[in-house]
Amino acid sequence: MTNKEKLKNAIEQDINPTNNYNEIITKIEKERKMKKENNLLKWSLVPICLAVFISGIIFLNYKNDNKNLYENKPYIDKENNITLNINDLSKVGMTSLDADIKTVSGLNIPYPFKVNANQNEEWFIIPSDLTQTKNYIVYTKKDIESNEYNVIANYIMLITDGNERSIEVKYSKDQEPLRDYYFSEEDSKITTINGIELRIYKYEKSFYTIFSYNGYNFDIETSNITEQEFSDYLVSILK
């Protein structure tokens, strides 16, 4: 055999039509197998996707139902004559207090809630950690020229844990208590507790409510009190 033939043979072994053909057929079979497996996988994914889809729909419906239940529908307790609506506010209008006031603390102030012989203040449902109660009287001037603060604007009963949690009850007989914020009552929903109508607003970690009861105008503001604690308190004082 000549050198040329030997080299030819070596090349033939490296780049060989039969080897290439066999490789091609192997790849064709491999591709077919993969396609088959992919098809199988694809069809096996159908019921899984369907299950996920149905679960998603059920979940969304459940969520929507709950949304309606908790966010749009009021809490109704027919037995205790309560229809509770919380108006969630995106923002609260703040304003400066348009009056000169003087606050005097440590005084005995009139008690605005109904109390009979068998009841005392502790009967009301107040969060157990709110152990401190402070009373204030807010005075305003008779007129702008006057130097004397001798007109009672309202009373304040501040129930607090001495830190960040508090219920501040402002009340007044003849007028609405002074406050430095306002709410638009438009579209706000009314809460009814024992036939008394009030509007409850929620803003961040505070609840506010305005109502008239027992001959007083009330303005209650809370700080870091839960919805449950606040509603329990309201239900207990409006009995």
Interacting residue ranges for another protein, rule: CB under 8 A: 2-4, 6-15, 17, 19-21, 23-25, 27-29, 31-32
Rounded to the nearest whole angstrom, what is the least distance from the CB of residue 28 to another protein in the complex? 5
Rounded to the nearest whole angstrom, what is the least distance from the CB of residue 35 to another protein in the complex? 10
Residue placing its CB nearer to another protein in the complex, 8 or 189: 8
Rounded to the nearest whole angstrom, what is the least distance from the CB of residue 43 to another protein in the complex? 21
Residue placing its CB nearer to another protein in the complex, 5 or 197: 5
| Residue closest to 164 by CA, chosen among 201, 134, 129 | 129
CA 168 centroid distance within chain = 21
Residue placing its CB nearer to another protein in the complex, 18 or 118: 18
Residue placing its CB nearer to another protein in the complex, 6 or 173: 6
Rounded to the nearest whole angstrom, what is the least distance from the CB of residue 45 to another protein in the complex? 24
Cα distances (angstroms) measured from residue 210 to each of 37, 79, 144, 180, 198: 69, 24, 28, 14, 6
Residue placing its CB nearer to another protein in the complex, 5 or 121: 5
Rounded to the nearest whole angstrom, what is the least distance from the CB of residue 51 to another protein in the complex? 34
Residue placing its CB nearer to another protein in the complex, 20 or 163: 20
Residue 148, token pair as written in the block: 């004397």
Rounded to the nearest whole angstrom, what is the least distance from the CB of residue 44 to another protein in the complex? 25
Rounded to the nearest whole angstrom, what is the least distance from the CB of residue 5 to another protein in the complex? 9
Residue placing its CB nearer to another protein in the complex, 19 or 212: 19
